[in-house]
């Protein structure tokens, strides 16, 4: 089993629904995005176009972040999801330096969106237990939702069906079919990281 | 090692006491502080007054430098401290083979500095970690596929060897061998910690980095020996060695930049541009000109005490800048091509001042312990003679 995602950038409309859904589900701190949409302009007027590319942790099969972690806080699970155990992470940030995709964030504080009021919103309080200052965090492919038989929040929220979640190791799955059909590529595959997020462009 | 050399070194810590008076033979007299030691003590105290609160705040509130850089000034000081400590150990280890009698004579003093630097390097890991107490997991549940773990253990072993050399009356050559091996292992591993980081094009698979770390460590160690130890009989050899190391570091830096500029594309090419003409240029040229070229010229054209001391100070500053340069250049360009910025916070600066004070303090305490032990040994000898 190897969970992954195919992202069809030609379908992405840059609405950021995935990034917002991710923030809602995980209650990440201000400025922290486990998942975001990169945008840039191509061509020039009158033929200019906006381009969008959603990016997140690639849940690499040969995850460099897991290889360098000195205390085994980052691991690649049997189902291919790369997770960080925040109870073990010592915050050395070696994994941040090792990740070629800048997919990790070192959390300096768990302050909420309204620090000037000295309180956390009810929503922030419910998500507080998921985060710990001084540790590194990143996309966990909503492994808790997957365990309940649901799909990750980002792919669920995408209105353009640009994100398809599934098991890359299952040849009968839609995602495996899409990868084969479109020769979906991973980002910086030459590094040998074996990303489980593939792009159709 | 000859007995003469042994005698010449008996008081390495420059104990102030000379001959114990007869009425005090049975009770070892605690050696007094010299003026230099007192001055160093005051500096250490002042540095620690700034450093300790900075460490406490940094460890409890997880505050680091401003900007997007993962590893900044703290890790620069870590590499510098570990590099000096381990390279000093390697040079001291070499002296046990009889090739550097002057250094051998100073071995206790140098071992104290080596231990202090290695100990403080480990301390920096604690202060810099987001959750300091969990650093102990490296001891209790290490993941040996991470070079960071090897580095941690090599530093610990190097510190232990420094201590053994310090307290052994006549350290054997085998110990010198271990000192050389583990001293070099620390710097090589630290270079490799960066070189295996595939996420950073400027570091990854860059064989120049481990080589540069070894060279920089040796440069700093030799410069320190020339600066603070009296080794007149070996000064010429040490200066020649320093000269060669500075030239080699200059070549490795030049090759690194030229190869990057010629072959590099994308992030690597942008990184080289940032280094040479961009935001990191002051650091890059500061290291090349002030830290490598000027000391090289100073040592090549005139070898007075003043010029050697100036060159030694500049060489150490150059190593500091060089390591910071290596760290920041690797993190200068993000995966999406945007440039990162970094400015150390006041807290980071305060913490770094504290590390310097901590090294000084350990050295001073170490010198006192060694001097005290020497005084005790001497008094025992005199009592035995009287008996
Ligand atoms: S994208 Fe980065 S954080 Fe995610 S598994 Fe790969 S190396 Fe690790
Ligand atoms: S920051 Fe945490 S997860 Fe990352 S390498 Fe260090 S201990 Fe492992």
Q: What angle do CA B323, B328, B333 make, to 5 degrees?
A: 150
Q: Apex CA B366: angle with CA B362 and CA B368, to 5°?
A: 120
**Could you tell me the domains of chain A?**
3-200 (3.30.70.20)
Q: Provide the pLDDT for residue B198.
A: 85
| Residue A34, pLDDT above cutoff 90 | yes
Binding site membership of A58 for ligand 1 (Cβ less than 6 Å): yes
CA–CA min distance B194, chain A (Å): 9
How many whole angstroms from B71 Cα to the centroid of ligand 2? 13
Atom of ligand 1 nearest to the CA of A193: 6
User: In whole angstroms, what is the distance from residue A98 CA to residue A128 CA?
Assistant: 27
The DSSP symbol for A153 reads H
| Contact (Cβ atoms closer than 8 angstroms) between residue A132 and residue B129 | no
Minimal-distance CA residue of chain B relative to A96: B70
Q: What residue ranges line ligand 2, CB within 6 angstroms?
A: A 68-69, 71, 73-74, 84, 89-95, 136
Q: For helices B173-195 and B147-167, what crossing angle results, to 10°?
A: 160
Q: Is the CB–ligand 1 distance for residue A152 below 6 Å? A: no
3 state SS of A114 = coil
Contact A65, A98 (CB under 8 A): yes
**What is the predicted pLDDT for the residue at B341?**
84
Gap between the Cα atoms of B8 and B1, Å rounded: 11
Question: Residue written as tokens 């850089």?
Answer: B69
Instruction: State how far residue B77 is from chain A, nearest Cα, in angstroms.
Output: 15
CB A199, CB A52: distance < 8 Å: no
Confidence of residue A109 (pLDDT cuts 50, 70, 90): confident
CA distance A86 to chain B (A): 10
Encode pLDDT of A81-107 as tens digits.
999 999 999 999 999 999 999 999 999
DSSP, collapsed to helix, strand or coil, labels residue A3 as strand
At residue B385, the pLDDT reads 72
A4 pLDDT above the threshold of 90: yes
- What domains sit in chain B, N to C, each tagged with a CATH number? 41-196+345-369 (1.20.1630.10)
Query: Is residue A134 within 8 Å of residue B131, measured between CB atoms?
Result: yes
What b/e string do you get for B223-262 counting C-beta neighbours within 10 Å, with b at 16 or more? bbbbeebebeebbeebbebbbebbebbbebbeebbeebee
Report d(CA B311, CA B225) in Å as an integer: 12
Residue A70 has pLDDT above 90, yes or no: yes
**What integer pLDDT is reported at residue B371 of this predicted model?**
87
Where chain B has pLDDT below 50, the residues are 1-28
* Rounded (5°) CA angle B92-B359-B53: 165
Task: Output the pLDDT for position B283.
Answer: 92
Give the DSSP letter of residue B293.
Answer: I
Cβ atoms within 10 Å, residue A45: 6
Helix axis angle, B294-301 relative to B305-330, nearest 10°?
160
Q: What is the pLDDT of residue B66?
A: 62
Where b means 16+ CB within 10 Å and e means fewer, A94-126 reads bbbbbbbbbbbbbbbebebeeeeeeebeeebee
Residues in A closer than 8 angstroms to B203, CB to CB, are 97
Ligand 2, residue B146: give the atom nearest the CA. 5
Asked if the Cβ–Cβ distance from B198 to A101 is below 8 Å, we say no
């Amino acid at each position: 089993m190897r969970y992954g995602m195919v992202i069809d950038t030609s379908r992405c409309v840059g609405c950021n629904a995935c990034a917002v859904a991710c923030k809602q589900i995980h209650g990440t701190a201000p400025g922290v995005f486990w998942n975001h949409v990169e945008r840039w302009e191509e061509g020039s007027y009158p033929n200019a176009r906006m381009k969008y590319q959603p990016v997140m942790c690639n849940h690499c099969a040969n995850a460099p972040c897991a290889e360098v972690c000195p205390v085994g806080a980052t691991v690649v699970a049997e189902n291919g999801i790369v997770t960080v155990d925040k109870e073990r992470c010592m915050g050395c940030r070696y994994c941040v330096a090792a990740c070629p995709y800048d997919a990790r964030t070192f959390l300096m504080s768990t302050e909420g969106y309204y620090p000037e009021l000295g309180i956390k919103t009810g929503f922030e309080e419910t998500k507080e237990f998921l985060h710990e200052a001084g540790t590194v965090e990143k996309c966990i492919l909503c492994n808790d939702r997957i365990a309940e038989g649901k799909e990750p929040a980002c792919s669920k929220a995408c209105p353009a069906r640009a994100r398809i979640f599934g098991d890359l190791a299952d040849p009968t799955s839609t995602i495996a079919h899409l990868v084969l059909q479109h020769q979906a590529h991973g980002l910086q595959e030459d590094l040998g990281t074996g990303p489980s997020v593939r792009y159709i462009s | 090692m000859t007995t003469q050399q042994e005698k010449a070194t008996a008081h390495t810590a420059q104990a102030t006491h000379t001959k114990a008076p007869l009425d005090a033979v049975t009770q070892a007299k605690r050696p007094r502080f010299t003026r230099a030691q007192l001055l160093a003590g005051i500096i250490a105290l002042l540095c620690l007054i700034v450093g300790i609160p900075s460490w406490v705040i940094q460890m409890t509130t997880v505050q680091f430098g401003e900007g997007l850089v993962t590893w900044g000034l703290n890790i620069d000081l870590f590499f510098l401290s570990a590099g000096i400590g381990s390279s000093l150990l390697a040079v001291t280890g070499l002296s046990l083979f009889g090739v550097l009698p002057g250094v051998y004579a100073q071995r206790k003093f140098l071992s104290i500095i080596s231990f202090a630097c290695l100990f403080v390097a480990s301390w920096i890991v604690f202060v810099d970690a987001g959750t300091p107490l969990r650093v102990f997991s490296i001891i209790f549940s290490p993941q040996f596929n991470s070079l960071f773990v090897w580095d941690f253990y090599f530093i610990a072993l190097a510190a232990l060897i420094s201590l053994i050399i310090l307290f052994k009356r006549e350290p054997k050559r085998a110990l010198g061998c271990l000192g050389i091996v583990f001293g070099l292992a620390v710097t090589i591993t630290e270079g490799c910690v960066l070189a295996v980081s595939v996420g950073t094009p400027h570091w990854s698979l860059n064989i120049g980095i481990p080589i540069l770390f070894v060279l920089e460590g040796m440069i700093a160690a030799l410069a320190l020996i020339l600066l603070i130890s009296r080794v007149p009989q070996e000064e010429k050899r040490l200066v020649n060695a320093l000269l060669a190391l500075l030239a080699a570091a200059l070549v490795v830096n030049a090759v690194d930049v030229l190869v990057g500029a010629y072959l590099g594309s994308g992030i690597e090419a942008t990184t080289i541009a940032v280094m040479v003409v961009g935001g990191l240029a002051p650091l890059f040229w500061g290291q090349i000109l002030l830290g490598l070229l000027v000391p090289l010229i100073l040592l090549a054209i005139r070898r007075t005490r003043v010029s050697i001391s100036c060159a030694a100070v500049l060489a150490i500053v150059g190593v500091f800048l060089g390591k910071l340069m290596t760290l920041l250049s690797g993190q200068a360009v993000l995966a999406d091509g945007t440039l990162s910025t970094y400015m150390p916070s006041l807290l980071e600066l305060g913490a770094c001042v504290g590390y310097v004070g901590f090294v000084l303090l350990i050295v001073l305490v170490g010198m006192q312990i060694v001097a005290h032990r020497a005084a005790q040994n001497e008094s025992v000898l005199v009592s035995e003679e009287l008996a």
